[in-house]
Amino acid sequence: MAANSRLTIATHALAWLALAQRRGQEILTSDQVAASVNTNPVIIRRSLGDLRRAGLVEVRHGANAGWSLARGPERITLLEVYDAVDPQPPFGLHHTEPNLECPVGRGIQPALKGIYGRVQQVMRRELAETSIADVLRDTLES
């Protein structure tokens, strides 16, 4: 099972936009962001489009086209980024109903729903307490 990297790519893009802003470059193209992430600009445009719809970035068209943060990096939380690019729960249950005549099949989904719900609450709380500015600071210290 492959891990979903949408949150990582979006966070990387926002941290790069924040660093560019700090350095006096307010706008970056999707090609510039893609070069930092080392991926295709189409993937970056898709991610930045999700972030734009969530109000986290702005896009400028025409001359001097590109992307910029919609607000300061200290005011953008990873929870907002997560909700913008990957609103699915981190864990899923069976795709088909388990055998309800089996004692494990009968009780596994209610048991896991509780566990997964608690894990998701902790995850969301941690993401809410972490800003793009925090990520950029930790990145530059590494």
Q: What pLDDT, on a 0 to 100 scale, did the predictor assign at position 63?
A: 85
* Domain assignment of residue 102, given as a range: 6-141
The model's pLDDT over 27-48, given as tens digits with 9 standing for 90+, comes to: 999 999 999 999 999 999 999 9
Q: How far apart are CA 38 and CA 36, in angstroms?
A: 5
Domain contains 1: no
Number of domains the chain contains:
1
CA proximity to 54, closest of 32, 26, 82: 82
**pLDDT bucket at 21, cuts 50 / 70 / 90:** very high
Overall size of the chain counted in residues: 142
Quickly list DSSP for 29-59: -HHHHHHHHTS-HHHHHHHHHHHHHTTSEEE
11: domain CATH number is 1.10.10.10
CA distance 8 to 85: 10
| 66-69 and 57-60 beta bridge pairing | antiparallel
Q: 92 versus 131: which is more confidently predicted?
A: 131
What's the mean pLDDT when you consider all of the chain? 92
Give the model's pLDDT for residue 1: 45
What's the pLDDT band for 2 if we cut at 50, 70, 90?
Answer: low
Mean pLDDT computed over 76-96: 88
What pLDDT is stored for residue 53 in this prediction? 96
Is 25 a domain residue?
Answer: yes
Mean pLDDT value of segment 101-130:
93
Average pLDDT over residues 110-123: 92
Per-residue confidence band for 96, with pLDDT thresholds at 50, 70 and 90: confident
Report if residue 113 sits inside a domain: yes
